[in-house]
Structure formats: structure tokens, C-alpha cells
A = this chain, B = another copy of it.
Amino acid sequence: MPDTTQAPPDLTAWTCPAPLRDQPKVVMGHGGGGVMSAELVQNIFAPAFGGRVLSQLGDSAALSLGGIRLAFSTDSFVVRPLFFPGGSIGDLAVNGTVNDLAMSGARAAFLSCGFILEEGVEMEVVARVSHALGAAARAADVEVVTGDTKVVEAGHGDGVYLNTAGIGLIPDGVDIRPQRVVPGDVVIVSGAIGVHGVAIMSVREGLEFGVEIVSDCAALGGLVATMLDVTPDLHALRDPTRGGLAAALNEIAVAARVGVEIREKAVPVPPEVDGACTMLGLDPLYVANEGKLVAFVPRQHADAVLAAMRAHPLGAGSTVIGECVRSHPGMVVARTGLGGTRVVDLPIGEQLPRIC
């Protein structure tokens, strides 16, 4: 008989691994996509689940099944509020998973969708979220094919939590993963950063910044397809969501064992995001995006890839922000406007919780 019919595992001998020892309870930072999230994965999930694929810790898993190459990814969504300027939890649930698949070069084909509803939530809210999710799926050319609904008692949950998982085909000849990044690779970001996180914060806190800041939430499968038309030889792609651009760059630097050097002035931060971040005490490099990507491109293809990105509506603001270097492997360094440098650390937790 399988283990599954036995009593829960005896963990009386379990001791909390060292990095978590100061945190015997879950805190918000464990969901932040930074150091604490990584500690949770490395010390609890990875040993418990084992497996070669999970250990790669990419945005999605690249799998072989029945002779084809699949990308497979999941995200849960607990954003507050459910609707915000530029999108909703339904848009995020589609675009978040579509984008994770796109970061391995896969075009999303199918989505699953799990609803956890709170007893007492207005049926109209469920309908609005569902319509937004359906519209986002059609815009991203992905089909919702299977789903599930659970209901929890009033006072638990927060109206609507969502989970999506997605499957996409990885095209032949495409092998996009952090380990392929080498010194000399050019780092390109597809447009203005920090917009989604600031948009959420402004509505959550009722802040006014003179202009309404609208989330950049969008599906990036088409932009990535455009880039792959130039060359299948993209080395790595990341969508800088939780933890922002800083987390994405650090993850690549560590996985590829290269240094990443960015020019701070080259990072596109819109004035309204910059202003809001100053007021809120945030660093735009650490603020989440939901419709941007950062690409690590071989030098010989960088100009052509950049031109193709700029010609796509979702990549019009694309720009080179830096390059990969042999020095300081595993570390991200920013050249400041004053001619100095500063280390861009992996964030510990999350500046703005529940932004996705």
C-alpha cells in the first residue's frame, strides 16, 4: 500500500533548518520572491518534493513528455484590491502564468483555473473577475480548459483567491534558461519598470500622485515570439514580478555564476513611479512589474533583438540596461550617475505584499 494511506509523517525529529530558525512562523516576506522565499524553497519544499526539475527554480518547468517539450508553470493570486487601475486579479491570473511560460520561450496553450471563494462574496464580483479572466485569456490566445471551485467560510479568504497553471509548447531549437547566460551577454529590459507595484499601492493606500498610475499588466507571449523570430538563441528571460528587477537580475547572476553590471541611469523609471517611490520610501528596482521582461541576449544578436522588441507594442520602451561580466560572479552591481557603484542585493522579503 502506498504511503498515502498511512498516518501523517512523523516529524518529531524534524528541526527547523538553520536559515529559517529565526523564523519559526510564516511571515509576509516568505511570499515576497526574495531571500526568504528562496530559503523556504531550499529548506522545506525542495527536500520534501525532491526532483530534478523543481531544483532549477525557473519561472516555469521545462519537461519532456511523449516526445514533445513542454513548459509547465503555476501561480496563485491573492492581490488586494481585486480590481485596480489597469487590471484585476483575473488579468493577473492569466498574464502571470502566460508570462512564466513565455520566459522559457513557450507560447501558452492551455490554462487551468482554481477559485477559492469566500462565503458571502457578491456573485457579481465572481462574475466580474471571471469575465476579466476570460477576456485576458482570449487576448493572450490561451484557452481555460479545466477548473475547480472551493468555498471557505466568511471571514476566511479575501473574497477571491485564484490559482492558474499553464502548459505551453517549447519550440524546437529554443533552450532558454539562466544557466546559459555568459559574460558578454547584453541585458535588455522591455520598458518602464515599477509600474504595477506602484499602481496597486496607490489604490490600496488611497494615495494621489497627480496622475493615475496604471498597471502594466499584459501577456508577453507575442513579444517573446517576436524576439525568437530574430534568433532562437536567447539565453535567459525573466519577468520581474515580486522582488522586481533586482530579484530577477540576482537570480540570473547566481544561477549563471556571472556578474551583472547595470547602468542605473539606463533603467527606465517613469517620473510618476520615481515620485511615488520617493514618497513611499521604495526603490523602483525592487517594485513588481507584470508586463515587462528582462532578456539576456548574446552580444551578436543584441541590436537585432532590441529593434524587434521596440517594434512590438509591448516592447516599445525596450532599452539596454547593462551586461554580464566575469568579475563579481553571482552579484549585481549598478553604476551610479556619480561614477560610483553600488551592490543591488536580492531583496529579503517584499516591499509591497500582495501585489499579485
Residues of A within 8 A of B (CB): 1-9, 11, 14, 16, 20, 23-32, 37, 40-41, 44-45, 48-51, 53-54, 60-61, 63, 65-68, 70, 72-78, 83, 85-88, 91, 94-95, 109-110, 112-124, 126-128, 130-140, 143-153, 155-158, 161, 163, 165, 167, 169, 214-219, 291, 313-314, 353-354, 356
A87 CA to B5 CA, complexed, in Å: 6
A116 CA to B66 CA, complexed, in Å: 32
Contact assessment for B145 and A5 in the assembled complex, using a CB-CB cutoff below 8 Å: no
Contact assessment for B313 and A74 in the assembled complex, using a CB-CB cutoff below 8 Å: no
Which of B44, B77, B140, B146 lies in contact with A74, CB distance below 8 A?
A: B146
Which of B24, B40, B61, B66 lies in contact with A122, CB distance below 8 A?
A: B24
Which of B16, B45, B152 lies in contact with A130, CB distance below 8 A?
A: B45
Which of B61, B88, B94, B126 lies in contact with A110, CB distance below 8 A?
A: B61
Contact assessment for B165 and A48 in the assembled complex, using a CB-CB cutoff below 8 Å: no
In chain B, what residue has the closest Cβ to A67?
A: B68
Contact assessment for B48 and A145 in the assembled complex, using a CB-CB cutoff below 8 Å: no
What is the distance, in angstroms, from A39's C-beta to the closest C-beta of chain B? 10
What is the distance, in angstroms, from A248's C-beta to the closest C-beta of chain B? 16
Contact assessment for B131 and A9 in the assembled complex, using a CB-CB cutoff below 8 Å: yes
Which residues of B sit under 8 angstroms from A157, Cβ to Cβ? 156-157
A77 CA to B163 CA, complexed, in Å: 11
- Most B Cβ at <10 Å: residue of A6, A60, A63, A112: A112
A153 CA to B130 CA, complexed, in Å: 24
What is the distance, in angstroms, from A188's C-beta to the closest C-beta of chain B? 21
Contact assessment for B11 and A128 in the assembled complex, using a CB-CB cutoff below 8 Å: yes
A309 CA to B286 CA, complexed, in Å: 56
Contact assessment for B119 and A72 in the assembled complex, using a CB-CB cutoff below 8 Å: no
Which residues of B sit under 8 angstroms from A95, Cβ to Cβ? 4
Which residues of B sit under 8 angstroms from A78, Cβ to Cβ? 116, 150, 152
What is the distance, in angstroms, from A324's C-beta to the closest C-beta of chain B? 26
Which residues of B sit under 8 angstroms from A31, Cβ to Cβ? 117, 149-152
A139 CA to B49 CA, complexed, in Å: 12
Which residues of B sit under 8 angstroms from A32, Cβ to Cβ? 151
A102 CA to B142 CA, complexed, in Å: 24
Contact assessment for B5 and A214 in the assembled complex, using a CB-CB cutoff below 8 Å: yes
Which residues of B sit under 8 angstroms from A60, Cβ to Cβ? 146
